[in-house]
Copies of this chain bind each other. A is one copy, B any other.
C-alpha cells in the first residue's frame, strides 16, 4: 500500500464516545490542496454539512476534522458555534484560516458536543499528525461508529512512469439505539486537479457508488463524501483521456468501499446486488433498482433463501418507471426464474441453496430492450436488524 503524497493523518480518543474508543480524526495536507464534496439532500441536516458546502469546491483546503459519537445535528445556534470552534481550533494549530478546514460529524443527534474534550482532542490529533500508515489506520478507525471494522481502500497506477496514489476511508450506516445512520467517505489522491475537475470526478464516482447503496433507505442528516487532491504526484493529467482514466479508478475505489457498507449492515447475512438492464433510460433503471433494494419483502426473501420472483417483479412494477410487464425477465445468481412476463420452470431448492450458501446475491432484471441500466447494493433484513434497531432502555 502506498499512501498519496502530501497528506498527514491522526485518530485519537477524546471522550465523545462513552466507550473510550477513538472518536476524532484529522486529515491534513502539507500545502493548500483541492477539495470537493457531495452531501446529504436531507432538509434536516447537520451544521457541518452547511459549513462544508460553503467550502467546496476549493483550492485552499488544509484539513478535515471528523468526530464520531455525536452528529452535531438539530443542535441550534450552539451547534453552529461548536462547529465553527472545531474549524478554528484546527486552523490555529495548522496556521491557516478556518475557511480552509472542513468538518464532518457522525453519531447521536440533538445533543451538544462536549467541547472541552473536542478541543483537547484536536490539540492531541494535530500534534500526532503524520504520513505513516498506522496514522491513516487510526483515522479510519476514529471516524467509525457501529461499524464492525474500519472500511478502507487503496489503488496506485502509473502515467508514463509517474505514480498516482488513491486512498479512501468510509464509515457505514449502522445505527443502534437512539443514534442516526450516517455514511461518511473521504477519498485522497496526490493527483493534480482543478477544483472543478475534482468536483466533477467526485460527482461521477459518487453517483455510481455511495449513491447506489442502502441499508434501509433512510437518508441521514450528516451524509458526506469528500475528495481531497494534494497535487504532489508528478504524473501529468494533461488530457481528457487521462482525466477519464483517473475518474474510472476513483469510481472503482469508491464502488469497492461503498459495497463494504451494506455488507457490514446491522445483522446483515447477505450483500444483495440488483442489476437492471433494458429500461428506457438510466433514470428508470435506477428507480427500479432502488425500489427493489428498499423492499422489505425482497430483503426478507433473500434472508430466508427464498427465490421469490413475485416480490421482485412486483416491486419493479410499482417503481414508477415506464416499463412493459410482458418484457420483464429475472435471474437470481444466474438462475432464470421469470422470462418475458411469465414464470418459468426452475428447481426452487437449487436456487434457494444458491442464495443461502453465498454471502452475495445477484438479482438481474431485464425490463425491456432499452439502453437504460443501473445497479444498487443493499443488505438483507434480518431478525437481528430489528433487534438492534428496536432495543431501547431509558
Residues in chain A within 8 A of chain B (CB atoms) = 40-45, 73-74, 76, 108-111, 175, 177-178, 180-181, 216-221, 294-297, 300-301, 303-306, 308-311, 313-318, 323-325, 328, 338, 341-343, 348-349, 352, 381-383, 385-387, 389-392, 394
Q: Is the CB of B221 within 8 A of A314?
A: yes
Q: Is the CB of B313 within 8 A of A74?
A: yes
| A178 nearest CB neighbor, chain B only | B308
- Number of copies of this chain that the complex holds: 2
Contact of A311 among B218, B310, B342, B382 (CB under 8 A): B218
- A–B Cβ pairs within 8 angstroms, 23 of them: A43-B318, A44-B313, A44-B314, A44-B316, A74-B313, A74-B338, A76-B342, A109-B314, A180-B311, A216-B295, A217-B294, A217-B295, A218-B296, A218-B297, A218-B311, A218-B315, A221-B317, A296-B389, A300-B386, A300-B390, A304-B392, A349-B394, A383-B386
**A181 surroundings in chain B (CB, below 8 A):** 297
Q: Is the CB of B314 within 8 A of A218?
A: yes
**A297 surroundings in chain B (CB, below 8 A):** 175, 181, 216, 218, 389
| A221 nearest CB neighbor, chain B only | B314
Min CB gap A384→B, angstroms:
9
**A306 surroundings in chain B (CB, below 8 A):** 177-178, 390, 392
Q: Is the CB of A74 within 8 A of B349?
A: no
**A387 surroundings in chain B (CB, below 8 A):** 383
Q: Is the CB of A42 within 8 A of B314?
A: yes
In the complex, given contacts A44-B318, A383-B383, A383-B387, what are 19 additional A-B residue pairs having Cβ atoms less than 8 angstroms apart?
Answer: A42-B314, A42-B318, A43-B316, A43-B317, A43-B325, A74-B310, A74-B338, A74-B341, A110-B343, A180-B310, A217-B294, A217-B296, A218-B295, A219-B317, A301-B392, A304-B391, A306-B392, A348-B394, A349-B394
Q: Is the CB of A309 within 8 A of B110?
A: yes
Once bound together, how far apart are the Cα atoms of A311 and B173, in whole Å? Answer: 13
Q: Is the CB of A317 within 8 A of B110?
A: no
Q: Which residue, of A111, A295, A342, A389, has the highest number of chain B Cβ atoms within 10 A?
A: A389
**A296 surroundings in chain B (CB, below 8 A):** 216-218, 296, 381, 385, 389
**A311 surroundings in chain B (CB, below 8 A):** 180, 218
| A367 nearest CB neighbor, chain B only | B43
**A295 surroundings in chain B (CB, below 8 A):** 216-218
Once bound together, how far apart are the Cα atoms of A266 and B390, in whole Å? Answer: 16
Contact A310:B110 (CB < 8 A) given known A297-B216, A300-B386 = yes
| A313 nearest CB neighbor, chain B only | B44
Once bound together, how far apart are the Cα atoms of A220 and B44, in whole Å? Answer: 32
Q: Is the CB of A392 within 8 A of B178?
A: no
Nearest 9 interchain pairs by C-beta: A44-B317, A304-B390, A306-B392, A300-B389, A219-B318, A110-B343, A303-B390, A304-B392, A349-B394
**A42 surroundings in chain B (CB, below 8 A):** 314, 317-318
**A220 surroundings in chain B (CB, below 8 A):** 314
| A386 nearest CB neighbor, chain B only | B383
Contact A301:B343 (CB < 8 A) given known A218-B314, A317-B221 = no
Min CB gap A104→B, angstroms:
17
| A385 nearest CB neighbor, chain B only | B386
**A303 surroundings in chain B (CB, below 8 A):** 386, 390
